[in-house]
């Protein structure tokens, strides 16, 4: 049963724990500013960010906030023009690309569809950084690929061509390929997109399992606030290229902080079965369309 407790009244001025133990940091961004071309603005400005092994950090924010750009800097595919990006304490800019590929796996927001390749072929591609110049898969590689197919519910689709699959199935293939890579850092950009409810939950449970089992540092871009609140170790709020807050769900995902981030009114409630927060967009009261009455003062909704 869902209830509406004091979650909206959580202190909006709480200082989130944005500074975990840097000695164990897997990904560390120090005062990072990044852009794609001169004159294009700054998708990321003066951002400090840390992800450590064994935790899931969810990046939340409106479109164009800089979430995907942060992931690209964290993966080493985009070099910041200011600041520094570190991978286990070493500057990424000086790292060998093969070492990066063995350490960091990325599931992009838009994956290029591999025409003519089967699901098993694509998942096996995740083993490439660990193979020799001939890219031949051995028994060990096949065992890892089989496990990834199983964990992503793809065994029955293993022989199917990837371009024939639905969008949700293709997303699961990309995640299986990333797991087959056996990374120490896992970066995912909207991995729940196109997935049905069951597979969204399965995905999040899988990330929790793998993060704990293999002590991965997992950074995930999500648009679903409820999934983030249920599964994240910490959440980071971004807007206009700036990091507004980073810390535990209870301290960061408050009414005022979310309103500041998304420029929208979200009701914050508490699931009395799981203890997780949940979020609902609040429609404006009919007499508040002109802004004369704040929507959180509508009948049945307590104000902050």
241 in any annotated domain? yes
- Give Rg (Cα) of the chain: 21
On whether both 164 and 285 belong to a single domain, the answer is no
The pair of structure tokens assigned to 34 is 């990044």
Q: Note the pTM of the prediction, 2 decimals.
A: 0.84
On whether both 9 and 156 belong to a single domain, the answer is no
On whether both 287 and 212 belong to a single domain, the answer is no
252 in any annotated domain? no
On whether both 272 and 185 belong to a single domain, the answer is no
* Spatial distance between the Cα atoms of 53 and 246, rounded to a whole number of angstroms: 17
What is the average pLDDT across 29-42?
Answer: 85
CATH code where residue 127 lies? 3.40.50.300
On whether both 241 and 289 belong to a single domain, the answer is no
253 in any annotated domain? no
Q: How many domains does the chain have?
A: 2
Find, among 197, 144, 145, 146, the residue nearest to 168 by Cα: 197
At 135 the pLDDT is 65
> Is the per-residue pLDDT at 271 higher than 90?
no
Neighbours of 8 (CB within 10 A): 21
Q: Where are the alpha helices (DSSP H) in 128-254?
A: 139-151, 167-180, 197-214, 225-231, 249-252
At 272 the pLDDT is 86
Among the residue ranges 113-117, 266-270, 296-300, the one predicted with the least confidence is 296-300
Q: Is the separation of the CB atoms in 191 and 180 below 8 Å?
A: no
Instruction: List the domain range (segments joined by +) for residue 266.
Output: 1-14+258-304
What is the average pLDDT across 177-185?
Answer: 96
On whether both 10 and 54 belong to a single domain, the answer is no
At 31 the pLDDT is 97
On whether both 284 and 215 belong to a single domain, the answer is no
> Is the per-residue pLDDT at 94 higher than 60?
yes
On whether both 59 and 150 belong to a single domain, the answer is yes
Taking only the tens place, the pLDDT of each residue in 104-163 is 999 998 877 778 899 999 999 999 988 766 667 789 999 999 999 999 999 999 999 999
Q: Is the separation of the CB atoms in 211 and 54 below 8 Å?
A: yes
Helices 167-180 and 139-151, packing angle to 10 deg: 140
Instruction: Find all residues with CB under 8 Å of 193, minimum gap 6, and list them.
Output: 109, 167, 171
Confidence class of residue 39 from pLDDT cuts 50, 70 and 90?
low
Instruction: Find all residues with CB under 8 Å of 137, minimum gap 6, and list them.
Output: 124, 127, 131, 145
What is the average pLDDT across 178-206?
Answer: 93
What is the average pLDDT across 173-181?
Answer: 95
Most confident of 71-75, 164-168, 276-280: 71-75
The pair of structure tokens assigned to 247 is 């810390």
At 19 the pLDDT is 53
On whether both 150 and 7 belong to a single domain, the answer is no
At 213 the pLDDT is 93
What is the average pLDDT across 191-198?
Answer: 89
On whether both 196 and 265 belong to a single domain, the answer is no
Which domain-ending residue is among 205, 220, 247?
Answer: 247
Residue 123 backbone phi and psi in degrees, to 5: -65, -35
What is the average pLDDT across 210-239?
Answer: 96
291 in any annotated domain? yes
On whether both 127 and 173 belong to a single domain, the answer is yes
Mean pLDDT of the chain: 85
The H or E element containing residue 71 is helix 67-75
* Spatial distance between the Cα atoms of 239 and 233, rounded to a whole number of angstroms: 20
On whether both 177 and 188 belong to a single domain, the answer is yes
């Amino acid at each position: 049963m869902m209830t509406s407790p004091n979650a909206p009244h959580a202190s909006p001025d709480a200082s989130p724990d944005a500074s975990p133990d840097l000695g164990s940091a897997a990904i560390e961004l120090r005062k990072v500013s990044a852009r794609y071309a001169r004159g294009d603005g700054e998708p990321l400005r003066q951002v400090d960010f840390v992800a450590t092994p064994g935790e899931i950090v969810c990046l939340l924010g409106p479109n164009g906030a800089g979430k995907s750009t942060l992931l690209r800097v964290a993966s080493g595919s985009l070099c910041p023009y200011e600041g520094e990006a570190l991978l286990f304490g070493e500057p990424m800019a000086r790292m060998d690309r093969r070492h990066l590929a063995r350490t960091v796996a990325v599931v992009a927001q838009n994956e290029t569809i591999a025409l003519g390749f089967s699901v098993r072929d694509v998942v096996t591609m995740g083993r490439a950084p660990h193979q020799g110049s001939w890219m031949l898969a051995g028994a060990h590689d096949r065992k890892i690929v089989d496990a990834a197919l199983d964990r992503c519910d793809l065994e029955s689709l293993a022989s199917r061509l990837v371009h024939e699959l639905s969008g949700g199935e293709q997303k699961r293939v990309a995640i299986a390929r990333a797991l087959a890579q056996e990374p120490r850092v896992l970066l995912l950009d909207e991995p729940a997109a196109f997935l049905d409810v069951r597979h969204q939950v399965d995905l999040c449970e899988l990330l929790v399992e793998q993060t704990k089992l293999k002590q991965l540092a997992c950074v995930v871009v999500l648009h679903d606030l409820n999934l983030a609140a249920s599964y994240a170790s910490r959440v980071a709020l971004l807007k206009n290229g700036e990091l507004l807050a980073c810390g535990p769900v209870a301290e960061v995902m408050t009414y005022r902080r979310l309103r500041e981030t998304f420029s929208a009114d979200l009701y914050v409630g508490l699931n009395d079965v799981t203890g997780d927060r949940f979020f609902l967009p609040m429609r404006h009261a009919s007499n508040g369309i002109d802004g004369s009455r704040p929507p959180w003062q509508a009948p049945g909704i307590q104000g902050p």
